[in-house]
Structure 1
Amino acid sequence: MISEGRYKNQKAIIVENENLSMSFLPDTGANLASVVLKEENFEFMVQRPEREYRRVEFGGDYVEAECSGMDDMFPTIDRCYYERFPWSGTELADHGEVWNLAADVNVKGDDRVDFTFHGVRLPYVFHKNVSIIEKNTVRIDYSAENNTDFEMDFLWAGHTMLQAEPGTRVIVPEDCTCAQAVFTDSGRIGAYGEEFDYPVYRDKDGSLRDMSVMGERQKDSEKYYLKYPLTEGMCGIERTNGRSFTYRFPADRVPYLGLLQNFGGFREMYNMFLEPCTSPFDRPDVARLMKKNCVIPPRSAYDWYLEITVR
């Protein structure tokens, strides 16, 4: 069932059945603000305590906004400048554009809603179509259109802030054995780009550490990417109470995975970030340098999907 509702002081599109309820915010990127398993009224997404949803103007810093739920980072993660003709020198906004744009909304029957966004600083059209496909699964079909005569560099990442606690398990394909650091408050995983074994590696102090299990609360947060393209498009978490949140996606279209473990270093929250993505390292130009970039061909589109299963 698709209905209109409210999330804090924002308009929401509610996608639900007898098992689950998901709240999308059409005026703010169609961000997925809430995922509730109805049986226990169990919320998977990070929720901020304020009564009003915190927003910033277009081009503002993401960390000054709500910082919760799941949003789409497109066409970049970090603020940067587009590198190639004909948009060379164009500033790309922090966290991308889509997360902070209003959508055109088209509800199709009682089980599908389409959100459409039009680029501001790059001339793309971004589609996000949501449908219920099973009792515990919602699918989001994505398409990014480039209606120009030039290649368009981009990256997309599904920025997902999940509630967690010490002992929460991080689920990735079994053949993922190497990761690369992006940032760390403590320095435990090394400098930017430094490689380390995954999931078990030897820490800077010489002790073994299992990254697949969330550790104790401390003033630290760590972001890293699994180094090699995924052979299976999946990731998720399993909470200590047995509840699980799982993504499935096409590995040939979304080949990389970013992970951010926040033990309390960011906003004194404790949570897990999942970021399936088309390119790693947070910027299209850096991804190009590493030969891991993604482009939309001229007069074409790039399509992918996410399936979200909660149990």
Structure 2
Amino acid sequence: MKTNPGKRLRVQQIQVKEFELLQIESSDLVVEILPDVGGKIAQIRNKVSGREYFVPPQRPYRTIPVEGDWLQHDTSGMDDCFPNVAAGQYPDAPWSSLRLPDLGEWTHGAWKVIALDKRAVTMKRSGTPLPYTAIKTTRFLSERTLESTYLVHNHGEAPIRYLWSAHPLISVEGEYEVILPPGKPHLRTFPSDGGSYSWPMWKGTDLSRNFLPSGKTLKVFVSGLSEGWCVLRQPTNSLRLTFDLNQIPALGIWFNNYGFPADSEKCFRCIALEPCTSPTDLLDELAPDAYQSIPPGGSVHWSLQMEISPH
């Protein structure tokens, strides 16, 4: 399908509805964004080779209702998880009766586009019932580097405890290497198996370059990074994420070797590099001071850069 760079596109999804597919591009990359599907980055494509870097759609795109189940919808591309990752109760008053959905509120519902040009898009949404407004801008910093910036303002009278995690499902076909900054980072599994391990070894497996057996998945959190970056290197390209350790001190990594979706004929293989604000997917697993919060009337701001380099 031929498209015009930077224009809003109307794309008919199979037996569902029309969704607005936005494209921004550089000389090297095309980025597709779906405001009506949680504002996700649906795909990043190399303009020369045609290579797609994220897992492609597994189901027709649909807006996930507030009470909907993320697992029953398309699970591809790159989502943002906020104010939680794993489903669970919000831990603090006055919202302690609130149940948070899997992958957080931002993946549910739609984002409103408030600015768009050839190289950038800005979207906005409000919390329900948490009293916040979020603004997300995705733009090209250079021909191979994409930046997402986030601003969240708390309109309420109580602090908002939160998690944020990137959730890019990066396609991995063959050999790979996960490269972290020099030092002695350590990891733990989620859910926890009770152990603490020195990266990259976990029960005899070098997670930096060896997949688990086929049909298995594993989520780990890496802490103690000396610098705010990580790289997934494959034979044809490297994908580097860069972030501020003061705001984003942990790194989640999800290894999926055809173990997800469970009980499905459409299992796929991917690695998700997930810079995150706390080394957990739950808002109540760690001590309260292990989480970031937004004070009443206050705001928080952070960013993530993604550089994709062909070899």
TM-score by length of 1: 0.89
* Residue 114 (structure 1) aligned to one of 112, 115, 122: 122
> What SS does the corresponding residue of 1:286 show, helix, strand or coil?
coil
1:233-258 Cα distance to aligned partner (Å, 9 max, x none):
112311122x1111111111111110
- Cα distance change, pair 93–209 in 1 and its aligned pair in 2 (3 A): closer
Residue 217 of structure 2 is aligned to residue 221 of structure 1? yes
Could you tell me which amino acid in structure 2 is paired with residue 27 of structure 1? Answer: D
* Residue 307 (structure 1) aligned to one of 290, 305, 308: 305
Deviation at 1:8, TM superposition (A): 6.3
Matching residue of 1:188: none
Cα distance in structure 2, aligned partners of 1:89 and 1:216 = 38
Matching residue of 2:135: 127
- Cα distance change, pair 79–32 in 1 and its aligned pair in 2 (3 A): same
Cα distance in structure 2, aligned partners of 1:54 and 1:149 = 34
Contact 1:60/1:94 (8 A) holds in 2: no
For structure 1, which runs of at least 5 residues remain unmatched after alignment?
Answer: 184-190
Equivalenced residue count is 295
Matching residue of 1:265: 259
Deviation at 1:193, TM superposition (A): 4.3
Cα distance in structure 2, aligned partners of 1:67 and 1:6 = 21
For structure 2, which runs of at least 5 residues remain unmatched after alignment?
Answer: 14-18, 262-266
Deviation at 1:226, TM superposition (A): 0.7
Cα distance in structure 2, aligned partners of 1:122 and 1:63 = 23
Cα distance in structure 1, aligned partners of 2:11 and 2:300 = 31
Deviation at 1:216, TM superposition (A): 6.3
* Residue 90 (structure 2) aligned to one of 75, 79, 82: 82
Cα distance in structure 1, aligned partners of 2:227 and 2:168 = 19
1:133-162 Cα distance to aligned partner (Å, 9 max, x none):
111111111011112221110101011100
* Residue 46 (structure 2) aligned to one of 37, 50, 59: 37
Residue 30 of structure 2 is aligned to residue 21 of structure 1? yes
Contact 1:55/1:66 (8 A) holds in 2: no
Deviation at 1:209, TM superposition (A): 2.4
Deviation at 1:36, TM superposition (A): 0.7
Identity of aligned residues (%): 27
Residue 294 of structure 2 is aligned to residue 296 of structure 1? yes
* Residue 234 (structure 1) aligned to one of 214, 226, 229: 229
TM-score by length of 2: 0.89
Matching residue of 1:97: 105
1:170-228 Cα distance to aligned partner (Å, 9 max, x none):
12222243100114xxxxxxx53421221134x2xxxx421101426511110010133
Matching residue of 1:187: none
Matching residue of 2:151: 143
